[in-house]
């Protein structure tokens, strides 16, 4: 659903994918559910994802991405040594969402991160925070915000790498119709490692 909405999911994340977009959405889960996903890209790149959300506000996620085998190079052999090395990322975490009132929900999560580049591995931890607010003055209007991947840099040998700390701001509006609801959503996303991006979706 999040992909179908063009990534505009910060204000709609009330399912087993909430930890990816806004942990506060765990407080709005209507029934326990799980997501199992496998993506197979070109050139041996693949991704596995498991997301779980429980009615009590708890959520868990496992995300593993492999970039496949890439040519091994060195300073003395910049064109390659003839060998290969594997590049992969792993994230394992959990979170909790709590409704402070019928209109306001807050949530947070923590995750363990591991990045592997051949025989060199970097490990670290990150925290996610989020909030959801249902506007009582405008029925069907929801505002959402989350701050993801807060944490210290991870260290590869002597080199440190910043985490992709990301701010997400989103809004969604559900228009009640006689037979079906019509929902519009809009997101603005800014990562410290990327430019400002916007997402727009309707269902």
Check pLDDT > 80 for residue 82. no
Phi and psi (nearest 5°) for 87?
Answer: -120, 130
**pLDDT above 80 for 74:** no
What is each CA distance from 173 to 11, 14, 16, 32, 201, in whole angstroms? 9, 14, 21, 24, 11
Please state the rounded mean pLDDT for residues 57-80: 85
Q: What pLDDT is recorded for position 183?
A: 95
pLDDT of residue 120: 83
User: How much is the mean pLDDT over the chain?
Assistant: 91
Q: Tokens 């009582």 label which residue?
A: 136
Report pLDDT digits (tens) over 92-142: 999 999 999 999 999 999 999 998 887 788 899 999 999 999 999 898 999
């Amino acid at each position: 659903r999040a992909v179908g909405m063009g990534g505009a999911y910060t204000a709609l994340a009330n399912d087993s994918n909430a930890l990816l977009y806004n942990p506060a959405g765990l407080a709005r889960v209507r029934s326990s559910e799980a997501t199992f996903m496998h993506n197979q890209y070109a050139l041996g790149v693949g991704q596995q994802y498991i997301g779980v959300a429980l009615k009590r506000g708890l959520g868990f996620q496992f995300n593993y991405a492999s970039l496949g085998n890439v040519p091994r190079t060195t300073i003395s052999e910049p064109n390659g040594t003839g060998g290969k090395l594997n590049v992969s990322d792993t994230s394992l975490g959990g979170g909790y969402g709590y409704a402070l009132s019928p209109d306001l929900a807050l949530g947070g999560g923590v995750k363990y991160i591991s990045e592997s580049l051949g025989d060199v591995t970097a490990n670290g931890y990150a925290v996610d925070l989020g909030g959801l607010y249902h506007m009582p003055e405008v029925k069907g209007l929801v505002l959402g915000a989350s701050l993801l991947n807060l944490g210290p840099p991870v260290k590869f040998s002597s080199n440190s790498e910043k985490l992709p700390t990301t701010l997400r701001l989103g809004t969604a509006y559900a228009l009640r119709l006689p037979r079906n609801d019509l929902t519009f959503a809009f997101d603005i996303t800014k990562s410290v490692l990327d430019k400002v991006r916007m997402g727009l979706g309707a269902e």
